[in-house]
């Protein structure tokens, strides 16, 4: 199947990576593992501060699914165990040893293994923490069998390294990972990549259903792929989703007995020195301070964002890149209000709606400066029709938002709540003149209907 995206938007933001070559980074001194993106889980610690760990050793396990481990992304010493309110586990910091050791896994030919045995090995190696389950976008459970699995092999958000770049030189591991996924489902494994991709790992992949996508962002959002290929109608329609890197990790486990730790990230944004913007090969959980050393324009204050600019998290120098994030952006911070901004022509400001003059000046072919300023507070909902212009799914976004705010979740499900994820409302939130926190509203709606 080919999916053609018409309702979307590629934001022409300045400061992107200047070249497609991948640069190396120095060996990390510390690696961080954050649990903040798993706030629906309760963990049981299996290590203590000061304890030595190997790469792949279990750090914690999920109390509700004890066979699901979170594995160590580094070999060294547990330097810090971070806790929040009520001693809730938030993360760990590992001081990397000069000579890292790997945990050993008893890997056999996957063709001779049952589905249960493969699930057990993946869970033991910490790979079930990288597979998500729809609806509700929860961690996948080894006890469930999905009706299909979606592999996202496309990126469309600002500054993201391409899937082709991630799979380069790892084609063999990627194909083995697809074979592993095929044994986990009774249905199809759907591989979705960009139309015209020259990557043979995608175009010649075996044992999967291949689909192509064209068009602007959110062409890479997995909700769009599921909506067009295998729609979710009820809460019992279990579909798993994963990414190219996660497939490579599964294949590496069965080919080499260990999970790959490096990935390609982008370091970009106008607050990054132009000569330092680009793609880098980094370790999972790399230190922010180490990543941006000698790369920041120190003349103006800036905000650091782990992940893509639309859905990423604000981070500090002392934080670490999230394991699921493949970009680090730095944009200039400003709290100043521009005098009479609404009475100006706006020739130097980007406009998605055409409210400024820039919207009529071939804006998509230029690159525009963005800062953290929102130019005002929330306002009344004056035009909800703008959401549909950047929402390629066949749902009613304004009606869905209203149903969630009214806490009418049965009506919200009829409007498509089971099919969406907060990231699907990143673009509607960006173009919203009312400045409503749409992603937060959708997350509250999903949390309200998630079974516990």
The residues, any chain, with a CB within 8 Å of residue 336's CB and separated by 6 or more, are 373
DSSP 353: S
- For the segment 87-105, the average pLDDT, to the nearest whole number, is 91
pLDDT of residue 324: 87
Query: Residues of the chain with pLDDT > 70: what percent?
Result: 92
Residue in 140, 170, 153, 150 with CA at minimum distance from that of residue 259: 170
pLDDT of residue 217: 96
On the question of a cis peptide bond just before residue 218, with omega within 30 degrees of 0, the verdict is: yes
Residue in 289, 281, 387, 312 with CA at minimum distance from that of residue 13: 312
In the chain, where does the domain assigned CATH 3.10.20.600 lie?
262-334
The Cα–Cα gap between 76 and 337 comes to 48
- For the segment 223-236, the average pLDDT, to the nearest whole number, is 96
Contact indicator for 157, 311 with CB cutoff of 8 Å:
yes
Taking only the tens place, the pLDDT of each residue in 11-56 is 989 999 988 889 999 989 999 988 887 766 788 899 999 999 999 9
Residue 450 — very low, low, confident or very high, per pLDDT cuts 50/70/90? very high
In the chain, where does the domain assigned CATH 2.40.50.100 lie?
27-103
Q: Which fold has domain 262-334?
A: Ubiquitin-like (UB roll) (3.10.20)
Q: How many Cα neighbours within 13 Å face the side chain of 440?
A: 3
Q: Which fold has domain 27-103?
A: OB fold (Dihydrolipoamide Acetyltransferase, E2P) (2.40.50)
pLDDT of residue 364: 57
Query: Residues of the chain with pLDDT > 90: what percent?
Result: 71
Beta strands in 234-322 (DSSP E): 239-243, 262-268, 278-283, 302-306, 313-315
- For the segment 393-402, the average pLDDT, to the nearest whole number, is 94
Query: Does the structure show a pLDDT above 70 at 67?
Result: yes
């Amino acid at each position: 199947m080919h999916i053609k995206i018409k309702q979307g938007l590629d934001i022409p933001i300045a400061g992107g990576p200047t070249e497609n070559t991948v640069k190396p980074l120095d060996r990390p001194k510390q690696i961080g593992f954050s649990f903040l993106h798993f706030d629906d889980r309760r963990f049981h610690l299996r290590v203590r501060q000061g304890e030595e760990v190997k790469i792949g050793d279990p750090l914690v396990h999920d109390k509700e699914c004890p066979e699901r481990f979170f594995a160590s992304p580094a070999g060294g010493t547990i330097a810090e165990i971070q806790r929040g309110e009520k001693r809730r586990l938030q993360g760990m910091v590992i001081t990397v040893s000069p000579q890292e050791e790997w945990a050993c896994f008893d890997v056999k030919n996957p063709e001779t293994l049952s589905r249960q045995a493969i699930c057990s090995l993946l869970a033991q190696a910490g790979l079930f923490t990288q597979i998500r389950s729809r609806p509700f976008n929860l961690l996948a459970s080894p006890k469930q069998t999905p009706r299909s699995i979606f592999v996202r092999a496309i990126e469309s958000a600002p500054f993201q390294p391409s899937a082709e770049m991630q799979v380069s030189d790892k084609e063999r591991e990627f194909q083995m990972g697809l074979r592993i996924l095929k044994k986990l489902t009774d249905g199809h494994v759907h591989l979705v990549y960009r139309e015209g991709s020259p990557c043979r790992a995608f175009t010649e992949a075996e044992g999967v259903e291949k689909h192509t996508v064209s068009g602007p962002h959110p062409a890479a959002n997995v909700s769009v792929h599921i909506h067009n290929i295998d729609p979710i109608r009820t809460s019992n329609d279990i579909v798993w989703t994963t990414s190219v890197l996660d497939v490579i990790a599964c294949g590496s486990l069965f080919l080499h007995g260990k999970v790959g730790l490096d990935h390609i990230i982008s370091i970009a944004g106008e607050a990054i020195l132009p000569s330092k913007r680009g793609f880098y090969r980094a370790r999972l959980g790399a230190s922010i301070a180490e990543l941006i050393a000698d790369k920041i324009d120190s003349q103006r204050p800036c905000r650091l964002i782990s992940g893509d600019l639309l859905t990423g998290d604000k981070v500090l120098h002392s934080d670490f890149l999230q394991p699921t994030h493949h970009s680090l952006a730095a944009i200039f911070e400003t709290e100043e209000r521009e005098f009479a901004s609404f009475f100006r022509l706006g020739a130097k400001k980007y406009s998605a709606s055409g409210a400024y003059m820039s919207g009529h000046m071939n804006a998509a072919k230029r690159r525009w400066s963005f800062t953290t300023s929102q130019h005002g507070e929330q306002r009344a909902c004056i035009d909800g029709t703008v959401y549909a212009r950047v929402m390629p799914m066949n749902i009613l976004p304004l009606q869905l938002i209203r149903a969630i705010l009214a806490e009418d979740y049965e009506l919200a499900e009829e409007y498509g709540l089971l099919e969406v994820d907060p990231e699907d409302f990143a673009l509607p939130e960006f173009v919203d003149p009312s400045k409503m926190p749409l992603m937060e509203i959708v997350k509250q709606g999903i949390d309200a209907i998630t079974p516990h």
